[in-house]
């Protein structure tokens, strides 16, 4: 044991270059895996802490629940905490800002994560505490005791299972302000601003029969649980809108596990480790060649096979330990630098047991597998064979028909270089595979990112549904009332004055209901509407839209049956003589269950049908629903859903001329503006439009420009991770090439000296060595190109199949060979191989002809 250890250390020291290459290969792979684990793990830990700070620690938020359901939840064993408030509907200001109005409950305030920053609690139903965010959007100063005018709006289901609205004007005095952290609103599409007032059984805000419950729940689990939520939802007949998981907290907790176990992250870690394994195997073989004579001598003087095996095992263990120590050390420093480049404040890194064990286990497996073959080969060497060992790899190869062609094109040195490369086929193949792994990863990922950069925004459903529109100004649906939220003519004029504005199309868009029954609706829509009322008197959610004549005329290309309505304002062709407004109907909707826009709402709807819709109308200042009959003039095809302005926002759409819309609803202003730019990527124009809606009654700007930036930013992070893996894999591979070229020079010293002795110049010999390295590069590029192209074709097929089946769009992506990415990798690989040759030339330059000829192979 002691002698084997000394010999192992002695050989590692004598072969310092190769030993360093082994350690470097292992440490680079370990460093990469450790860093790719620790950085996202630390980010996840920070994000989880931020999520608890921003979204509190409750598990479920509920709203509009009855007394009966609340009493059952309080007694349910799945529920450990419940903080309940009385839901009094919504209060809406003159600009459409809609605030959830609840009874004041200090326990709920604390459980929801609010902080009272000003004032006190309400003492009667005329006093109110408001969320700071709501005051900012209402453009109000945070002055206490100020009186604010609102409309109280409460939607409810009457005793006929029909949707109704209760509304009345009411004035509140501001007595307190609560605050949520700013992070609560960033990237959170589910939040609703809230207000709190005093509640008593004698309250006069809304009729007592319209009261319901809202609040938050903690389950008997450590974190929010989808399975528990679904269990309670099914048990009490609840829907997902009224009984919601604390989704932001849940996402933060689940984020790390989801990202860690993706195919993308596994490839990023495994490819450098496999490459390192190939390098380690090659270098161990090279060391074994150098040690062959010494092993023969040691065997001749009595060393047993098991001692030889032990010696090589100790070498492997020493290299592994030093590689692990170096890899973990460098990885720790890089992780610390990386995580603190993301956050403004200093962050300590979080290292889990898995972050250490994963690279440790992989490194052990790679070194074990790589060295075990060398141990087996070493134990098979007999003393006499080892002592008189000649390099079997230098035996003459058979003449092939293509050798003459290579000589004719690349000269004698080219032919010799080609033969030299393939003298040891296994070592050459492993070297090519090592480089090809990096190439396949680089080419396949880069072509995906480059195409994503050009087309990801246009391929997304959100962007496709915008059609020719570049920017849509609308309101946040969760925090506004679409009836009161509007854009007046002054805002439209301001938009028209912005440079690069091509066209401005204001419109009106509200939610309503279609009167129908279970026998008329399709199976596609039944899961979405059943359970919401009387099956013989269903009221299905729809969108009712009013457009100007120019926009409606542009819908001609989508009409699959009937005629357009741009010239039928206020007219009717009904045989009964009734004056029904003419409408266009979209009976298609995008089904997320089927991932298709081929789903229909009604089994049958024909041109000329009279259908009954329910829409909100202004009746002497009060908001109420009104049943209106309309005549179907034309039917829109399924392409409208995914390729036109906001076409995916409902199950069924009714489109009217804007004057007919106004006459029906008494809405005078627009609540949506569609804008076309001369250039959708015009940063200045997009920023000007964003300024118009910023902190203004929850107005929002949806734009192709913002989507493009979002996708670009999202893909850039993944792109950097891939590039890191590719660079480290190439470094590992270059170590392999350097060692192979150096070894080839050492093994062929006598041959090279003979060539020089018979007249070959040093320049020609260098040229031969350079051509050898280029051959490695060319074969690596070819293998990478073929594998990556096939991988890309597979990706294109998947995308085209999905788009064809889901949206009816054929050949969305073309089958193209990624020439640009192949050339990029090719240049880098050739440079790397030439660099490896340059670093190996010292042995060649210092070579003496006489000394070389004296070497006895």
**pLDDT at position 284, please?**
67
pLDDT over threshold 80, residue 404? no
Predicted local distance difference test score (pLDDT) of residue 405: 66
CA atoms within 13 A on the CB side of 145: 0
Residue 60 has what pLDDT? 94
Q: How far lies 133's CA from each of 60, 139, 154, 473, 692, in Å?
A: 22, 10, 22, 20, 18
Mean pLDDT on 45-74? 91
How many angstroms separate the CA atoms of 665 and 511, rounded?
12
Burial class (CB in 10 A: 0-12, 13-18, 19+), 437: buried
Residue 456 in this model has a pLDDT that exceeds 90: no
| Assigned token pair, 192 | 């609703």
Whether 242 shows a pLDDT value over 50: the answer reads: yes
Q: What is the pLDDT of residues 725-739, one digit of tens each?
A: 667 666 666 666 666
- 524 pLDDT band, cuts 50/70/90, is confident
Question: Worst-scoring range by mean pLDDT, 182-196, 294-308, 478-492, 596-610?
Answer: 294-308
Nearest in space to 43 (alpha carbons), one of 719, 727, 717: 717
Cα torsion through 512, 516, 517, 520, rounded to 10: -120
SS (H, E, C) 319-330: HHHHHHHHHHHH
Binned at pLDDT 50, 70 and 90, residue 352 comes out as confident
The whole-angstrom separation of Cα 467 and Cα 404 is 61
Round to whole Å and give the CA distance between 388 and 381: 11
> pLDDT-based confidence at 58, cuts 50/70/90?
very high
For residue 559, the number of C-alpha atoms closer than 13 Å in the C-beta half-sphere is 19
* Model confidence pLDDT, tens digit, residues 193-230: 999 999 998 899 999 999 999 999 999 999 898 999 99
Mean pLDDT, range 39-62, rounded to an integer = 87
pLDDT value of residue 125: 93
The answer to whether the beta carbons of residues 567 and 618 sit under 8 Å apart is: no
> What pLDDT score does 857 carry?
44
- In this predicted structure, the answer to whether residue 769 has a pLDDT above a threshold of 70 is yes
Domain ranges, ordered by start, for the chain: 1-56+246-389, 58-223, 395-465+704-857, 471-679
Q: Give residue 560's pLDDT.
A: 92
Question: By mean pLDDT, which of 348-362, 378-392, 550-564 is the weakest?
Answer: 378-392
Q: What is the DSSP string of 39-60?
A: HHHHHHHHHHHHHHHHH-S-SE
How far apart, in whole angstroms, are the C-alpha atoms of residue 135 and residue 26? 58
> Is 507 within 8 Å of 483 (Cβ atoms)?
no
Spatial distance between the Cα atoms of 601 and 522, rounded to a whole number of angstroms: 6
Residue 856 has pLDDT above 50, yes or no: no
Q: Label the pairing between strands 699-703 and 610-619.
A: unpaired
Q: Over the chain, what is the mean pLDDT?
A: 80
521 secondary structure, DSSP code: B
Mean pLDDT over 164-175 rounds to 93
Helix (H) or strand (E) holding 82: strand 79-92
Given a cut of 80, whether residue 760 has pLDDT beyond it is no
Encode pLDDT of 688-697 as tens digits: 888 888 767 8
Q: Which two tokens stand for residue 590?
A: 């995008």
- Higher-pLDDT residue of 532 and 21 is 21
Checking if the pLDDT of 272 tops 70, the result is: no
Weakest mean pLDDT among 265-269, 356-360, 455-459, 597-601: 455-459
Q: Is the pLDDT at 749 greater than 70, yes or no? A: no
Pick the range with the lowest mean pLDDT from 301-305, 458-462, 706-710: 458-462
Asked whether the beta carbons of 483 and 690 are under 8 A apart, the reply is no
Task: Please give the structure tokens belonging to residue 414.
Answer: 């080219």
Nearest Cα to 178, choosing from 165, 195, 166? 195
Q: Does the pLDDT of residue 527 top 70, yes or no?
A: yes
257-271, 392-406, 427-441: which has the minimum mean pLDDT? 392-406
Average pLDDT over residues 419-423: 74
Task: Report pTM.
Answer: 0.74
Tokens 């889901």 locate to 806
Overall size of the chain counted in residues: 857
What was the pLDDT predicted at 493?
A: 87
Say what the pLDDT of residue 82 is: 95
Predicted confidence at residue 87, as pLDDT, reads 95
Give the tens place of pLDDT for each residue, 579-636.
889 999 999 887 777 667 778 889 899 998 999 999 998 887 788 899 999 999 999 9
For the segment 743-767, the average pLDDT, to the nearest whole number, is 72
Please report the pLDDT score of residue 132 as a whole number.
94
The token duo for 551 is 């926009």
Residue 382 has pLDDT above 70, yes or no: no
Q: Residue 180 in 3-state DSSP?
A: coil
- For residue 846, pLDDT beyond 80: no
């Amino acid at each position: 044991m002691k002698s084997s250890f000394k010999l192992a250390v002695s050989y590692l020291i004598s072969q310092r270059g190769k030993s360093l290459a082994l350690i470097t290969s292992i440490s680079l792979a370990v460093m990469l895996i450790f860093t790719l684990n620790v950085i996202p793990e630390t980010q996840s830990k920070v994000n989880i802490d931020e999520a608890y700070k921003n979204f509190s620690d409750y598990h479920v938020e509920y709203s509009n629940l009855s007394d009966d359901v609340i009493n059952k939840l309080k007694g349910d064993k799945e529920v450990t905490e419940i903080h309940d408030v009385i839901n009094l509907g919504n209060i809406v200001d003159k600009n459409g800002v809609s605030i959830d109005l609840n009874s004041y409950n200090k326990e709920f305030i604390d459980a929801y994560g609010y902080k009272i920053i000003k004032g006190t609690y309400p003492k009667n139903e005329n006093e109110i505490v408001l969320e700071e965010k709501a005051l900012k959007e209402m453009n109000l100063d945070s002055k206490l005791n100020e009186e604010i005018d609102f409309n109280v709006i409460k939607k409810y289901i009457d005793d006929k299972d029909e949707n109704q609205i209760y509304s009345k004007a009411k004035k509140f005095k501001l007595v307190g302000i609560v605050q949520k952290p700013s992070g609560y609103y960033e990237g959170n599409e589910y939040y609703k601003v809230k207000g709190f007032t005093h509640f008593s059984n004698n309250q006069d805000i809304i009729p007592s029969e319209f009261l319901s419950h809202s609040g938050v729940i903690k389950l008997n689990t450590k974190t929010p649980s989808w399975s528990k939520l679904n269990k309670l939802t099914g048990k009490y007949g609840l829907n997902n809108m009224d009984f919601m998981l604390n989704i932001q907290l849940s996402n933060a907790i689940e984020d790390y596990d989801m990202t860690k176990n993706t195919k993308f992250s596994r490839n990023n870690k495994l490819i450098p480790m496999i490459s390192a394994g190939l390098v380690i195997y090659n270098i161990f073989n090279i060391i074994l060649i150098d040690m062959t004579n010494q092993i023969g001598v040691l065997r001749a003087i009595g060393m047993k096979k098991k001692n030889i095996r032990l010696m090589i095992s100790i070498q492997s263990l020493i290299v592994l330990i030093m590689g692990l120590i170096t890899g973990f050390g460098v990885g720790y420093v890089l992780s610390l630098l990386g995580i603190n480049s993301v956050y403004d404040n200093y962050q300590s890194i979080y290292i889990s047991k898995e972050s250490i064990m994963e690279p440790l286990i992989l490194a052990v497996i790679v070194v074990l597998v790589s060295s075990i073959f060398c141990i087996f080969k070493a134990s098979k060497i007999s003393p006499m064979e080892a002592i008189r060992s000649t390099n079997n790899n230098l035996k003459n190869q058979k003449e092939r028909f293509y050798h003459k062609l290579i000589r004719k094109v690349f000269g004698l040195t080219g032919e010799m270089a080609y033969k030299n490369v393939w003298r040891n086929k296994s070592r050459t193949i492993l070297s090519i595979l090592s480089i090809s792994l990096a190439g396949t990863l680089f080419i396949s990922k880069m072509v995906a990112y480059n195409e994503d950069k050009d087309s990801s925004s246009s391929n997304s459903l959100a962007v496709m549904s915008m059609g020719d529109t570049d920017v849509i100004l609308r309101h946040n649906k969760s925090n506004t009332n679409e009836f009161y939220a509007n854009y007046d003519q002054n805002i439209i004029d301001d938009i028209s004055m912005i440079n690069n504005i091509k066209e401005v199309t204001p419109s009106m868009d509200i939610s309503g209901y279609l009167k129908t029954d279970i026998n008329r609706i399709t199976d596609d829509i039944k899961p979405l509407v059943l359970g919401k009322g009387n099956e013989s008197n269903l009221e299905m959610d729809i969108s009712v839209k009013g457009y100007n004549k120019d926009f409606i005329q542009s819908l001609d290309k989508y009409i699959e049956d009937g005629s357009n309505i741009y010239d039928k304002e206020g007219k009717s062709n009904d045989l009964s003589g009734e004056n029904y407004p003419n409408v266009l109907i979209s009976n298609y909707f995008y089904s997320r269950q089927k991932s298709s826009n081929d789903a229909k709402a009604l089994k049958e709807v024909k041109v000329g049908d009279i259908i009954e819709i329910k829409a909100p109308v202004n009746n002497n200042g009060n908001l109420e629903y009104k049943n209106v009959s309309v005549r179907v003039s034309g039917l829109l095809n399924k392409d409208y859903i995914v390729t036109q302005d906001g076409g995916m926002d409902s199950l069924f759409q009714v489109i009217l001329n804007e004057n007919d819309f106004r006459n029906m609803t008494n809405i005078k202003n627009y609540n949506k503006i569609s804008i076309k730019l001369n250039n959708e990527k015009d940063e200045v124009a997009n920023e000007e439009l964003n300024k118009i809606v910023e902190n203004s009654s929850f107005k929002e700007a949806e734009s192709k420009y913002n989507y493009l930036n979002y996708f670009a930013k999202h893909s850039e992070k993944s792109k950097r991770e891939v590039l890191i893996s590719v660079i480290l894999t190439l470094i590992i591979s270059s170590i392999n090439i350097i060692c192979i070229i150096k070894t080839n020079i050492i093994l062929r010293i006598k041959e090279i000296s003979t060539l020089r002795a018979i007249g070959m110049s040093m320049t020609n010999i260098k040229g031969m060595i350079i051509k050898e390295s280029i051959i490695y590069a060319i074969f690596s590029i070819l293998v990478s190109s073929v594998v990556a192209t096939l991988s890309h074709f597979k990706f294109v097929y998947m995308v085209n199949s999905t788009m064809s089946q889901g949206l009816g769009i054929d050949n969305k992506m073309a089958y193209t060979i990624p020439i640009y990415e192949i050339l990029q990798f090719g240049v880098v690989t050739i440079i790397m191989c030439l660099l490896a040759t340059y670093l190996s030339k010292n042995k060649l330059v210092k070579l003496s002809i006489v000394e070389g000829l004296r070497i006895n192979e």
